A and B are shown apart, each in its own frame.
Chain A
Amino acid sequence: MLPFIAKRTATLVAAVVVSSFAVFLIPYFTPGDPVRKIIRSRVSGDVVDDAAVQSLSLSLGLQDPLALQYLRWLGRIITGDMGLSHVSRTPVADQVLPALAVTLSLVILSLGLAAVVSLPLGIAAGLREGKATDRVITTVTQSFIAMPEYWVAPLLVLVFALKLSVLPSAGWAGPASMILPAVTLALRPISYFTSAVRSGMIDAAAAEHVPAARARGLSQAQAVLRHVVPNGLVPLSTLFAVWFAGLLGGSVIVEVIFAVPGMGRLLFDSVINSDIPLAQGGVVVVVALAVTVTTLADLGHRLLSPAVEGSYA
């Protein structure tokens, strides 16, 4: 187990380094001179003085080798200094961290909701494969896949905010305002989780060790509880991590529609405004978090399912 953790940690660091380098290079592939952009964001007027460009380039160290610039940049990011936003001229970290907190709560809330809904549904459907229970659950949850967020969100707003007036239509203040965004975001994970749990249950129930457990004297219910359900849930850990990582930056539609001040919206705005430091800082944080979560899920999967250990056991 220890060598595995070491190996996975090394992979994690490598992934973060490689992706951060790609992020570092963003200014080199975007149109316009970043230095002029910086000056333009600081002074009024459209004319930029060439001398000012030269002196700023020098003071930013842009004449240094690329590798050195990258290391300097990475070192600053690691210590929490992500530079100044072009638009607001405030430190990027001051914008990224609150946005991250908001998105994290939103993602945890919706994935938690998805898990709470899909575990019992998936288990019920899997254990009653082919019966009416299974058909109803499968049909309903699968239909969620075909409901895009930009369609579900206005519909929920229409019903719960405008017609019934029980929930706020937008914003991020207090638990009530979190419900509609979380539900909207949970729908597609619900259908994928339910389907994964269902097929996990079907596979686990078909395993030959289940009748063997009955032959030891376990009742059908005991055999299902001890040997079918836990085994059937193992595949979910990986799927959960993938969705977690995906939603960190992928909740943008929901955040924009419900005016949630989260990461998705922050990244969206930073790109629209060509606010490169903000985009860079945001992406690096999301990537680091996503890679960490996937690594943790891999470790969890291995703890749950020791036979995955590989050939050098």
Chain B
Amino acid sequence: MSTPGNVLEISGLEVRNLRPAGGHDGGTGAGAAGTLGAGQAPLVRDLTLSVGAGEFVALVGGSGSGKTLTALSCLRLLPPQLGITGGSIRLGSTDVTAAAESDLNAVRGGQVGMLFQQPKRMFNPNRTIGQHLLEPLRIHGRLRGAKARDTAVEMLHEVGFADPARGFGAYPHQLSGGMAQRAMTAVALAGRPKLLLADEPTSALDKMLERQVLQLLDRERRERGLGVLYITHNIAAVAPFADRVLVMDSGTIVEGGPTASILAAPQQDYTRELLAASQLAPDSRRRPPPAERDILTLAGVHKTFGPRRRRHTVLEDVSLDLKGGGILGILGQSGSGKSTLARAVVGLEKVTRGTISRHLEEAGNAPERATAVQLVFQEPHSSFDPRMTLRASMEAPLLRLRGLAPAARASRIADAMAEVELDECMLDRRPGQCSGGQLQRATIARALLLDPRVLICDEATSALDALTQRTVLNLLLRLQRDHRLSLIVISHDMDVVRYMCDRVAVLLDGRVIEVAETQAFFASPAHEHSRALVDAAIPCRGDHLRSLMRGPVSLHS
């Protein structure tokens, strides 16, 4: 039945929630899987796929489509309330669904390696990278002592650690997100697996790091025939690397085929939506040019942290201006000072030197002007108090800063919820009961409550999947138009900035190295670092993708 050369064969897989509906589901810890699974419908149904040796297969779908459950099924490591209720999974000669638990331990990490979405949280914070790496070497390679150590250091070197001996002794919190994912790759490959399951390993990384990780995987499969099942919500990111694309929706594969033909001639509406979402065509919108007058001016802003001897400069001589009604994009890699800049503009952070002036004469009285610059946070789940309902979270600023009566508060909140197209019944939920997209809308609604003139979006959509990201971006654009807001859009994502902004500023190590009109910037970035950023993005998305798709596609409303 099994085809020689295939490292993974799944046929007719079905995954269900084993707990009866309405029963005890172990609290909210199970997350989306738990809440979705409360019904009787299977979470994964009739799923069939295969990955050959040396083949790169992309499994693409929105959040909640069952991608991750499929990967976990391959290792038989589903959360305890879920179970495989049908079908079979073969890894080479091993039948995963029927194998004994002890045999599976040899398969996990030995035949199959796995990469996870949040690499830093997948390491034990109290153990060094080296200690993690020694585990699979001992279990699968039977290596111990100095030999194991040498192999581990060599593997860290292979995945791109400049100083592998130091990386060996480093603790997870000392690594950047990109280095952590490389370290995780070394750990996943340590047992010399034939198949790598990669579950959104780069979704939290910026485009440059994403590309580096993808190139690393690509090298592994070419050099030693590693089969890769790459799970992502972003079809464009993997397009240059994937041999085949499988599109997954509501627990099953709705479309699949060679990458070029899926991109060129998608059959399903869902596939088209995914493609459109990952593309964010920049020329699809028209809006009035911004006013000539500045609403916000930053002049020579410096920000340093830490005590004198270990002073750490985060912002250095930053001068920028935001025109009334304009949208300014701030691009930069992680650690370039983007978030500090956002916090300084809102007033959450005092600048060490320089001035940030607001020109808000028309924004009303002094307390109203004080709150006229609002921030939309990056992580919606951590920007709400988990124990308060959304209503309580939203009422607090109205009560404290405006002293409104209960009825006035309620109507103001209702208006804001309507603005962001959220149902009012959401107000009685707590953050844990909302999806990321819903919460990010609520974050925007909360920012709107105080009648802001300027909205700062700090990676406001980076944590969302491509489809949700697109709707939230469009919501922001509509609000900007309707309320004549001025926006600062902070992102590491080229496409978001290109889609949203009139002007772009690039931040590198706390300095502004380039400010330009969006179109001119993407046509010919002036600074070397800007070019590197733009180059890292283009082949993955946008232009290259459209060339693959042979001509423009207009799918968005």
- Tell me whether A306 and B126 are in contact (CB under 8 A): yes
B29 interface residue per 8 A CB criterion: yes
Docked Cα-Cα span, A45 to B275, in Å, equals 103
B201 interface residue per 8 A CB criterion: no
- Tell me whether A215 and B174 are in contact (CB under 8 A): no
- Mask, B51-80, CB within 8 Å of A = 1, is 000000000000000000000100101000
A231's nearest neighbour on chain B, judged by CB, is B126
Interface SS of A by simple majority = helix
Docked Cα-Cα span, A215 to B106, in Å, equals 10
Count: A-B pairs, CB below 8 Å:
87
Give the segment of B6-14, B110-118, B434-442, B475-483 that binds chain A. Answer: B110-118
Q: How far is the CB of A235 from chain B (nearest CB, A)?
A: 12
Q: How far is the CB of A118 from chain B (nearest CB, A)?
A: 21
A218 partner residues in chain B, CB cutoff 8 A? 105, 109, 135, 139
- Tell me whether B136 and A217 are in contact (CB under 8 A): yes
B306 partner residues in chain A, CB cutoff 8 A? 312
Q: A217-B105, A217-B109, A218-B105 are in contact. Are A208 and B135 (CB under 8 A)?
A: no
B187 partner residues in chain A, CB cutoff 8 A? 216
- Tell me whether A227 and B121 are in contact (CB under 8 A): no
A209 partner residues in chain B, CB cutoff 8 A? 121-125
- Tell me whether B124 and A206 are in contact (CB under 8 A): no
Q: How far is the CB of B82 from chain A (nearest CB, A)?
A: 13
Docked Cα-Cα span, A52 to B305, in Å, equals 63
- Tell me whether B77 and A215 are in contact (CB under 8 A): yes
Q: Which of B102, B108, B118, B121 contacts A215 (CB 8 A)?
A: B108
Q: How far is the CB of B198 from chain A (nearest CB, A)?
A: 12
- Mask, B119-141, CB within 8 Å of A = 1, is 00111111100001001100110
B147 interface residue per 8 A CB criterion: no
B171 interface residue per 8 A CB criterion: yes
Q: A307-B172, A312-B310 are in contact. Are A215 and B126 (CB under 8 A)?
A: no
A214 interface residue per 8 A CB criterion: yes
- Mask, A282-304, CB within 8 Å of B = 1, is 00000000000000000000001
B387 interface residue per 8 A CB criterion: no
Q: Which of A211, A212, A217, A218 has the most CB of B within 10 A?
A: A217
- Tell me whether A217 and B110 are in contact (CB under 8 A): yes
B173 interface residue per 8 A CB criterion: yes
Docked Cα-Cα span, A216 to B140, in Å, equals 9
- Tell me whether B191 and A230 are in contact (CB under 8 A): no
B310 partner residues in chain A, CB cutoff 8 A? 312
A309 partner residues in chain B, CB cutoff 8 A? 173
- Tell me whether A216 and B109 are in contact (CB under 8 A): yes
B173's nearest neighbour on chain A, judged by CB, is A307
A208's nearest neighbour on chain B, judged by CB, is B121
- Tell me whether A305 and B116 are in contact (CB under 8 A): no
Q: Which 7 A-B pairs have the closest CB atoms?
A: A217-B109, A212-B122, A216-B109, A215-B114, A307-B173, A307-B125, A217-B139
Residues of A within 8 A of B (CB): 206-209, 211-220, 226-227, 230-231, 234, 304-307, 309, 311-313
Instruction: Give 10 A-B pairs besides A226-B124, A227-B124 with Cβ atoms closer than 8 angstroms.
Output: A208-B122, A212-B116, A213-B135, A215-B113, A215-B188, A216-B191, A217-B108, A218-B109, A306-B171, A306-B173
